[in-house]
Amino acid sequence: MSTAPRSVIVKGTGSYTPQKALTNNDLSKIVDTSDEWIFTRTGIRERRIAAEGETSSTMGAEAGIRAIENAGLSPEDIDVVVVGTMTPDMPFPSTACLVQDKIGIPNAISFDVEAACSGFLYIMEVAAGLLATGRYRNALIIGAEKLSSILDWEDRTTCVLFGDGAGAAVLGHAEPGEDRGIIDFKLGSDGSKANMLHQPGGGCAIPPSPTSINDRQHFLKMRGQEVFKQAVRVMGQAAVEILEQNGVEADQLKCVVPHQANMRIIDSLSSRLHIPIERFFLNLDKYGNTSAASIPIALDEAARAGRLERGDIILLVAFGAGLTWGSTLLRW
């Protein structure tokens, strides 16, 4: 006799950020900028930069180990590993396979998903879908980025925004009778706006060559004002729609964990949802934009700081290159 599928819950979280902090004052010695210019426009004070030898897989593995420990599990209990990254260690094999080996997970399917800054919400839905089949027990999902490796350190409009790091969560099944878990997802994309935020070189369209290197095609490129307008619009839309579709009022949200990209975007989301900024979890000032690592780092820090309690309704919301966006509603 079949039984109803159990809810998918977050069993544990973990994160890792490099030791080296690059402050706004440090950046002012590299490019024409200042602490005041960066902070008033973004809300960022500093960001972390990976050391030599640190990669998306090494940072992701450390975050993953911490998440597995936090969940009270061992590597043997994990049977799915999904990594969201736009800065993989190499084009192939997947960063997830490298993470699987570094942690020592003996039996798991492992693969990457690339949805830029929305990556963690994308991999959360993918992993939750796999768990819902009943064929898998526990999934380790990781957002990991070494954005310092693709930044143009001569472009003050982009190099001041991003940092390195990794965040992770273990998803599993709720116990019978547990009233918690992931409530819903709302994901979207619009490939017609891909050139607003992209890295032109390095793929098969513009493979590495002396010309592509001289033309600085292997660095991140962004049309900042256009990206800002789109982010404000679609993050607000994704948040409003998921609340309406699930009959949840904004004042029922205990905590909102947004993608940490720009304080003005987060302020706009706070105004649209009529939720005080105090109910948002923010670490943007410390880490800058860590892309797919942004939400899981913040989620882990929020959980460990006691901001999330059993039964709380939590909203995750993100926006990234692609263009991609998404929101996730869960009961902690």
Question: Known catalytic residues?
Answer: 117, 259, 289
3-class secondary structure, 70: helix
| Contact criterion met (CB below 8 Å) for 46 and 285 | yes
Question: What is each CA distance from 156 to 17, 24, 27, 33, 159, in whole angstroms?
Answer: 23, 11, 9, 7, 6
How many beta carbons lie within 10 A of that of residue 87, not counting itself?
23
Query: Residue 60 in 3-state DSSP?
Result: helix
Tokens at 232, concatenated: 């404000």
Residue 54 per-residue DSSP state: -
Residue whose C-alpha is closest to residue 130's, from 88, 173, 183? 173
Q: What is the dihedral of CA 64, 69, 70, 74, to 10 degrees?
A: 90
Q: Residue 175 is encoded by which pair of tokens?
A: 């116990």
User: What is the distance between the terminal CA atoms of the chain, rounded to a whole angstrom?
Assistant: 30
Give the SS3 label for residue 211.
helix
CA separation for the pair 48, 226 (Å, rounded): 26
From residue 286, how far is each of 48, 83, 143, 157, 295 by CA, in Å?
Answer: 8, 23, 17, 18, 14
Q: How far apart are CA 243 and CA 248, in angstroms?
A: 5
**φ and ψ at 56, to 5 degrees?**
-60, -35
Q: Which residue's structure tokens are 């975007």?
A: 265
